[in-house]
Amino acid sequence: MKASYSSFVRMAFGVWLLVFFLQSALAVKRLEFLAEQFGFLPPAVIQVMTMAGFLAALSFATGKAVRISSVVLLLSLHALLFAIPRFRTVVFPHISIVLVIFALYYQAGILSERKVWYLPLFLGIYAGFSVSGISKLFFGLWNNGEMVRGQCDLSLAATLGICENLPSARLALIVAVIEVASFPLVLLSRTRPLIWAVSTLLHFLIIFFVPQFSTRTGFFLVQLFLFDPAWMSSPPYAQRQTN
Judged by the rule CB under 8 A, the positions of this chain that interact with another protein are 33-34, 37-38, 85-86, 88-90, 93-94, 96-97, 100-101, 104-105, 113, 116-117, 120-121, 124, 127-128, 131-132, 135, 138-142, 146-147, 150, 154, 211-214
The minimum distance between CB 45 and another protein, in angstroms, equals 19
Maximum distance among all alpha carbons in the chain?
A: 63
Question: Is 112 exposed, middle or buried, given 0-12, 13-18 or 19+ CB atoms closer than 10 A?
Answer: middle
The minimum distance between CB 186 and another protein, in angstroms, equals 14
b/e string for 57-92 if b means 16 or more Cβ within 10 A? bbbbbeeeebeebbbbbbebbebbbbbbeeeebebb
The minimum distance between CB 44 and another protein, in angstroms, equals 20
Closest to 137 (Cα-Cα) out of 176, 169, 165, 183 = 176
The minimum distance between CB 153 and another protein, in angstroms, equals 8
Nearer to another protein, 93 or 235 (CB): 93
Nearer to another protein, 41 or 97 (CB): 97
d(CA 189, CA 208): 30
The minimum distance between CB 222 and another protein, in angstroms, equals 11
Nearer to another protein, 2 or 114 (CB): 114
Q: Are strands 106-107 and 110-111 parallel, antiparallel or unpaired?
A: antiparallel
Nearer to another protein, 58 or 71 (CB): 71
CB 169 within 8 A of CB 143: yes
Side chain identity, residue 50: T
The string of DSSP codes covering 26-85 is HTHHHHHHHHHHH-SS-HHHHHHHHHHHHHHHHHHHHTSSHHHHHHHHHHHHHHHHHH-G
The SS3 of residue 226 is: helix
The minimum distance between CB 142 and another protein, in angstroms, equals 6
Nearer to another protein, 59 or 215 (CB): 215
The minimum distance between CB 96 and another protein, in angstroms, equals 7
Nearer to another protein, 88 or 240 (CB): 88
Nearer to another protein, 122 or 196 (CB): 122
